[in-house]
Amino acid sequence: MARAIVLRQLTNSPKSRLQLSRKLAERNVPEDVAEAVLDRFEEVRLVDDAEFADMWVRSRSQTRKLAKGALRRELADKGIDPEIAAGALDQLSDADEETAARELVERKLRGFTGGEDRAERDKVTRRLASMLARKGYQPSLAFRVVGEVLDAAADQAGDGD
């Protein structure tokens, strides 16, 4: 029964060992049985937290444009050891993170001319920096990228006149 539960869970999507352990506990599988089944699945590499973490980071950084901070929290929630998480996060460079932040801001700013007054620009800056913060970006990076993108939008709007 425990094997069937784990196999069914892995069919839907890759899972960490902790996620599978929690699912087995929900189904009232005795802890010793759950551990034995999960140990066997690790032996045959159907459960591999390092591989799971690498895949998770690649996927979430590309599709959701999440920064290392947010990804680190998500991996911790999934029971990934901090050292394994750090290894997975190493695949993201600071330049990758900045590029992703810039893409997010530019996408949100479509239609913004930059010609708005100072109060409007401040409001837009706060809104965009908050969006980046929710995605795990450091405040210094968030405000710098938002400022650069807003300046570029204002310059572009000025050239069009």
Residues 59 and 81 placed together within one structural domain of the fold: yes
Q: How much is the CA Rg of the chain, to the nearest whole Å?
A: 21
Look at residues 55, 43, 44 and name the one whose alpha carbon lies nearest to residue 15. Answer: 55
Same domain assignment for residues 116 and 148: yes
Residues 6 or more apart in contact with residue 33 via CB below 8 angstroms: 2, 24
* Domain end point (choices 92, 120, 148): 92
User: Based on the domain organization, do 2 and 43 belong to the same domain?
Assistant: yes
Distance CA 150, CA 12 (A): 42
Q: Where are the alpha helices (DSSP H) in 27-159?
A: 31-43, 49-63, 68-77, 82-89, 94-108, 118-134, 139-159
pLDDT at res. 116: 66
**Helix crossing, 17-26 with 31-43: angle to 10°?**
150
Query: Does one domain contain both 32 and 57?
Result: no
pLDDT, tens digit only, all 161 positions of the chain: 889 999 999 998 899 999 999 999 999 999 999 999 999 999 999 999 999 999 999 999 999 999 999 999 999 999 999 999 999 999 999 999 999 999 999 998 876 665 568 888 899 999 999 999 999 999 999 999 999 998 888 777 765 54
Looking at the fold, whether 63 and 117 belong to one and the same domain comes out as no
pLDDT given for residue 154 in this prediction: 79
Residues 81 and 122 in one domain: no
- Structural domain including 25 reads 1-47
119 token code pair: 């109060």
80 within 8 A of 17, measured Cβ to Cβ = no
